[in-house]
Amino acid sequence: MKVDILTLFPDMFKGPFDESILKRAQEKGLVEINIHNLRDWAKDKHKTVDDRPFGGGIGMILKLDVIDRAISSLTTDHRTPNTKIVLLDAGGKNFTQKYAKRLSMLDHLILIAGRYEGVDYRVHEKLADEVISIGDYVLTGGELPAMVITDAIVRLIPGVLEKSEATEFESFSQATNYKLPATLLEYPQYTRPKEYRGWEVPKVLLSGNHKEIEKWRKEQSIERTKKSRPDLLRR
């Protein structure tokens, strides 16, 4: 899989993409992540990528022509039916685990990280295949959402994690495994010491009875979801 990220602040990505699972996935050749500075596609000597909004208003808007040239450059040799151009915007569709799974199956993903007061709306209408938000709040730019989405997607690519089961029983992924119609949070997990300051690990997890452990985990997933995210059970 290839991920191209368009941003005005490429240095923001150096830490997250050079560590841990994302680093190993790139070293294995399972994903190629490229960070591009939008200013590289500006044509004037000042590398201008934004301008004032028509009709007046506060702030600056990222220019349509700059973004279009960037996308055209990145898709000249790689555009396939399995390519998606995604704009990151607080007004987009909510990013979920199911969304991540679908995007992880692409060959090529282009993420556009907005800034300032946003992007020329023609990017929404004419260039982006999808517009995604990572939550009902506003950030200073699309860089952090790009990192979140890339991380969520890459870990689902076959071979990235050592065991595929590692993703199957996580929060938001495991309802299918329990044959339930709702999305569930992950069950509680524990490790040594089995007792600390009087706080004990549930005895069923120490029993070695895998059938009872599986039953307990299913029950705990449902209870945890009821307590913390009851909205998931109503979907």
Which residues are part of a known binding site for S-adenosyl-L-methionine? 114, 134-139
Note whether 150 and 5 are within 8 A (CB).
Answer: yes
Residue at token pair 């985990």: 217
Amino acid letter, residue 100: A
Q: Could you give the CA distance from residue 153 to residue 25 in angstroms, rounded to a whole number? A: 11
Q: Could you give the CA distance from residue 189 to residue 205 in angstroms, rounded to a whole number? A: 9
Give the residue ranges of the annotated binding site: 114, 134-139
**What is the distance of C-alpha 229 from the center of its chain?**
20
Beta strands 32-37; 2-7: pairing state: parallel
Give the 3-state secondary structure of residue 89.
strand
Residue at token pair 């209408």: 125
